Amino acid sequence: MNDPQKLLQLIAAAEGAHSGGGGEAGGAPVGSVPTMRIAGNARITEGTAGAVWTGGVVPLQEEEVIQAIRLLTRFGEVGSDPNVQPEQLQKELTKTDSNTKLNVQQLLESLAANVPTENTDTPLLMKAAEHMAIRFALERFQKGEVKVNAVHQMLEHMSRQMDTLRQILKLQEDKMSKAGILVESHADILDRMFWAEVPEAGKKSVLLSHEAPCVPARNVRQFVELLLQRGDKEAASSILQNYFSCLDARDVEPRRRTAIGLAQLADLFAGPGGDLLGAAIRKVGEALSKEPDPEMQSLLSAAFVRLSSEASTRKLYGALGEVCHGMDLMTKHRPVLANELRPRIGVENRLPEFIEEALRSPQVPQDLLQVLRRTSQAAVEHLADRFFRCMRRDECDRMVDVVKELGPAGLQQLREVLRTGQPRQAASAVGLLSRLDVPTLLELLPARLPEWNRFYHDVVVRQIAYGAAHDRGRSLLELLEILDPLVLPQAVDEIGMSGDRTAVPPLVVMAEAGDAQGRSPLVQLKAVESLGRLREAESVAVLRNLLEGKKMWKWSHHRELRIAAAQALAKIDPRYGSQVLSDSGLEPAELAIAALDSAPACPWVRQRRYERIVLRKTFSATISSSWGKSSILVRELSLGGGMGTKEDNLRVGSEANILISVGVRQIRGQVLLRRARVNEVGFEIVNTDLESRYRLRRLLVESLQRAPESKSGDWDGQRKL
């Protein structure tokens, strides 16, 4: 039953058996009947006068199409059941209207002509039934007898008439359904086939009308994608704009279909470009904030989430601004719904990605700034966290500029983070505030620092250093009295690196012998080095006293402190250099290892404070604390710390005691452990006695003398000590 010629022969045989002859039907178009009525069982042949079709047709009626489908179903039964006799088919044909028989004959002849060129798994009888139903629906639609919303209902009715035929033919869809595979309904298949037959002008007319929601979303997609492939973005944009405007319909059914379709077509709205996606999001957001029906709220929510996802994925910041506006509307009118949607929208979750985009862009897009303003609470937290992780100076400056663009609201949110945030969040806000609002910083930190442990005191000092404010030296001086004692040396170092000469008088006091009694010797030493970095002439008297002071025939101060004072004097006035060498008894090699000056042009936020030297051989060191002991092999050292290979997991950021064995000599001190490369650990010396510091200097001198090339090369920007 899959050969149209055999079916035609079967019809002819049945007709011949009934009328006593055979013949050939006239050639009326498929989906119509001749205007000349064919009486009874009369044969229609070219030689029969008055019986030849002259070209006039009238449309088939729906009852005749259904009767034709039933006739095709009967053909299927005959083909599948060998016990059915031809006489039964003759009887069936006798009952069939002549118009229907003629139409089926013409349809089979048309299919017979196309058999060699078509390759399909659809059985012939089903193809014939589908073809007749689609042609009938298309003719009525083109004549305006039915609207597009009624076409699907008509095809559903005809699909039900074909169910018996489909069961007889045991189509592949049944097998797929049994296998658990989702199969498109037959009515939907007919609807899709019908849409494919509609002329392009008809498609465009429907999609630009208020009936657009009646067209299944897959058909809308097919046509819009075709327009985009042709480059006709204007037509595609008009169709999509008309589609989402149907949310204004009075009846709930068009709005429901539009909401469902928008979720399925969301990815198309970015295709035509412009503000189309943003306009769609704005329309859905406004509708959602006003919609009272729970079912419609659910459908609109799905569309809103889907459109928002497209805007986020494509980084269309203008559209994301509309997402934020829609969320503001819902927060005002539907607060419960807004809370449910917020995690699904995910704009705030993607803020770190958007901030990275801002860092890489030559200029921050205004639409992105608008998104950050609308999400200022989350945006400020992410900006502060990103500032905390900045490695380059230009990144820090860009972060500061972005926060400035957020305006007073962003700055106020930053203050709130420092005032009420958890230690990790609050400490990350310090760097930005050190550039943008120093008075608030100095007001809030004295209250927060006593609540935090040593780790966050260390973070605060580093954040102020990364901020690179011109007055950061004064800010650090204000905090010295409340900082953890082990963080003080680093803070004093940063004061010297800041270049802020207003900090000189307090540093002079810290460097003086009498005033240094209550402090760690390392803090006094750091103050001396900072005075040298700042090159302030008023500190010369104190420095000369440290260098030249004697008791009887001995020097008053430790050799390490005298070396630091001599180096500072040489920086303030190079004329002191030759005098130091001749009168102080210090060695040139000892003076060669000095504190490094600040480099304003350095691209990195963290500058080395001492030259790091690769040791000619590794030294064993023991790190111990309350959590136990661990051994490391030290391979790089400076006056401020070093780096070694670790044997087990050490707690980065924690404080520990270090013991470096150099022959019979030992170097002792307290260190803060820093993050380094894989299987390595960095350590910063935060407290030590002057004798251990001098032994460390001698170790570095010996390494340089035996291997002058052991100075480390250009810094790669990692936060080394």
Question: Which tops the pLDDT comparison, 172 or 252?
Answer: 252
Lowest-pLDDT range, 37-46, 113-122, 415-424, 548-557?
Answer: 37-46
CA angle at 2 for the pair 82 and 196, rounded to the nearest 5°? 140
Q: Indicate whether 268 pLDDT > 80.
A: yes
Whole-angstrom distance, CA of residue 464 vs CA of residue 379: 21
Q: Indicate whether 716 pLDDT > 50.
A: no
Q: What is the pLDDT of residue 458?
A: 92
Largest CA distance in the chain: 150
**Token pair belonging to 677:** 């490369």
β-partners of residue 604 are 392
Q: What is the pLDDT of residue 105?
A: 64
Q: Indicate whether 166 pLDDT > 80.
A: no
Question: How confident is the model over 45-70, as a mean pLDDT?
Answer: 50
> Would you call 521 helix, strand, or coil by DSSP?
helix
User: Could you tell me what percentage of the chain is helix, strand and coil, using 3-state DSSP and rounding each to the nearest 5?
Assistant: 65, 10, 25
Q: Evaluate whether 619 touches 703 at the Cβ level (below 8 Å).
A: no
For 179-275, where are the alpha helices, taking DSSP H only?
A: 186-197, 200-207, 217-230, 233-245, 252-265
Q: Indicate whether 178 pLDDT > 60.
A: no
Q: Evaluate whether 15 touches 22 at the Cβ level (below 8 Å).
A: yes
Lowest-pLDDT range, 85-99, 336-350, 462-476, 655-669?
Answer: 85-99
CA angle at 505 for the pair 501 and 506, rounded to the nearest 5°? 105
Whole-angstrom distance, CA of residue 130 vs CA of residue 312: 43
> Would you call 328 helix, strand, or coil by DSSP?
helix
Burial annotation 495-517 (CB, 10 A radius, 16+ → b, else e): bbbbbbeebbebbbebbbeeebe
Nearest to 701 by CA among 586, 629, 613: 613
Whole-angstrom distance, CA of residue 491 vs CA of residue 512: 18
Whole-angstrom distance, CA of residue 721 vs CA of residue 718: 9
Residue 110 exposed, middle or buried by CB count within 10 Å (0-12, 13-18, 19+): middle
Q: What is the pLDDT of residue 646?
A: 80
Q: Indicate whether 34 pLDDT > 60.
A: no
Count of CB atoms within 10 A of residue 363's CB? 6
Q: What is the pLDDT of residues 142-160, one digit of tens each?
A: 656 555 555 556 556 556 5
Question: Which tops the pLDDT comparison, 571 or 63?
Answer: 571
Count of CB atoms within 10 A of residue 339's CB? 11
Q: pLDDT-derived band of residue 25, with 50, 70 and 90 as boundaries? A: very low
Question: How confident is the model over 496-506, as a mean pLDDT?
Answer: 92
Q: Evaluate whether 14 touches 89 at the Cβ level (below 8 Å).
A: yes
> Would you call 535 helix, strand, or coil by DSSP?
coil
Q: pLDDT-derived band of residue 200, with 50, 70 and 90 as boundaries? A: confident
β-partners of residue 682 are 643, 674
Q: What is the pLDDT of residue 719?
A: 39
Q: What is the pLDDT of residue 599?
A: 86
Q: pLDDT-derived band of residue 141, with 50, 70 and 90 as boundaries? A: low
Domains (range + CATH), the chain: 1-198 (no CATH), 453-607 (1.25.10.10), 613-710 (2.40.10.220)
**Token pair belonging to 60:** 């088939």
Whole-angstrom distance, CA of residue 211 vs CA of residue 254: 8
Whole-angstrom distance, CA of residue 409 vs CA of residue 374: 10
Whole-angstrom distance, CA of residue 640 vs CA of residue 633: 17
Question: Which tops the pLDDT comparison, 49 or 698?
Answer: 698
Q: Indicate whether 10 pLDDT > 60.
A: no
Q: Indicate whether 392 pLDDT > 80.
A: yes
Q: What is the pLDDT of residues 462-484, one digit of tens each?
A: 999 999 999 999 999 999 999 99
> What are the contacts of 53-61 at 24+ separation with CB within 8 A?
53/26, 53/27, 53/28, 57/28, 57/29, 57/32, 57/33, 58/32, 58/33, 59/31, 59/32, 59/136, 59/139, 59/140, 59/143, 60/31, 60/32, 60/33, 60/99, 60/103, 60/136
Q: What is the pLDDT of residues 625-647, one digit of tens each?
A: 877 888 889 989 999 999 988 87
Q: What is the pLDDT of residue 588?
A: 87
Nearest to 563 by CA among 542, 588, 539: 588
| Mean of the per-residue pLDDT values of the chain | 79
What angle separates helix 559-572 from helix 576-583, to the nearest 10 degrees?
A: 150
Lowest-pLDDT range, 185-189, 283-287, 455-459?
Answer: 185-189
Lowest-pLDDT range, 106-110, 487-491, 660-664?
Answer: 106-110
Residue 523 backbone dihedrals phi, psi, to 5 degrees: -65, -40
pTM of the model: 0.70
Q: pLDDT-derived band of residue 317, with 50, 70 and 90 as boundaries? A: very high
Nearest to 278 by CA among 319, 237, 236: 319
Lowest-pLDDT range, 182-196, 418-432, 457-471, 479-493?
Answer: 182-196
Q: What is the pLDDT of residue 665?
A: 85
Whole-angstrom distance, CA of residue 494 vs CA of residue 471: 12
Lowest-pLDDT range, 69-83, 180-194, 478-492, 519-533?
Answer: 180-194
Angstrom distances, CA of residue 653 to CA of 84, 312, 453, 674: 91, 36, 11, 6
Strands 655-662 and 32-34 come out as unpaired
Q: How many residues does the chain have?
A: 721
**Token pair belonging to 545:** 């006293």
Q: Indicate whether 70 pLDDT > 50.
A: yes
DSSP for residue 569: H
Q: Indicate whether 33 pLDDT > 80.
A: no
Q: What is the pLDDT of residues 288-316, one digit of tens each?
A: 999 999 999 999 999 999 999 999 999 99
Q: What is the pLDDT of residue 51?
A: 39
Q: What is the pLDDT of residues 674-692, one digit of tens each?
A: 877 778 888 999 999 999 9
Q: pLDDT-derived band of residue 266, with 50, 70 and 90 as boundaries? A: very high
Nearest to 493 by CA among 445, 521, 528: 528
Nearest to 350 by CA among 322, 331, 378, 384: 378
Q: Evaluate whether 721 touches 684 at the Cβ level (below 8 Å).
A: yes
Q: Indicate whether 429 pLDDT > 50.
A: yes
Burial annotation 166-195 (CB, 10 A radius, 16+ → b, else e): bebbebeeeeeeeeeeeeeebbbbbbbbbb
Q: Indicate whether 42 pLDDT > 80.
A: no
Whole-angstrom distance, CA of residue 544 vs CA of residue 583: 12
Question: Which tops the pLDDT comparison, 691 or 211?
Answer: 691
Residue 347 backbone dihedrals phi, psi, to 5 degrees: -65, -45
Q: pLDDT-derived band of residue 174, with 50, 70 and 90 as boundaries? A: low
Question: How confident is the model over 448-471, as a mean pLDDT?
Answer: 93
**Token pair belonging to 552:** 């009887």
Q: Indicate whether 330 pLDDT > 70.
A: yes
Q: Which residues make Cβ contacts (< 8 Å) with residue 424, sequence separation at least 6? A: 456
DSSP for residue 21: S
Q: Evaluate whether 579 touches 547 at the Cβ level (below 8 Å).
A: no
Q: Evaluate whether 256 touches 299 at the Cβ level (below 8 Å).
A: yes
Q: What is the pLDDT of residue 142?
A: 62
> Would you call 717 helix, strand, or coil by DSSP?
coil
Q: What is the pLDDT of residue 715?
A: 41
Q: Indicate whether 562 pLDDT > 90.
A: yes
Question: Which tops the pLDDT comparison, 31 or 285?
Answer: 285
Residue 422 backbone dihedrals phi, psi, to 5 degrees: -65, 155
Residue 146 exposed, middle or buried by CB count within 10 Å (0-12, 13-18, 19+): middle
Whole-angstrom distance, CA of residue 438 vs CA of residue 451: 20
Q: What is the pLDDT of residue 721?
A: 41
Whole-angstrom distance, CA of residue 166 vs CA of residue 416: 69
Whole-angstrom distance, CA of residue 271 vs CA of residue 237: 9
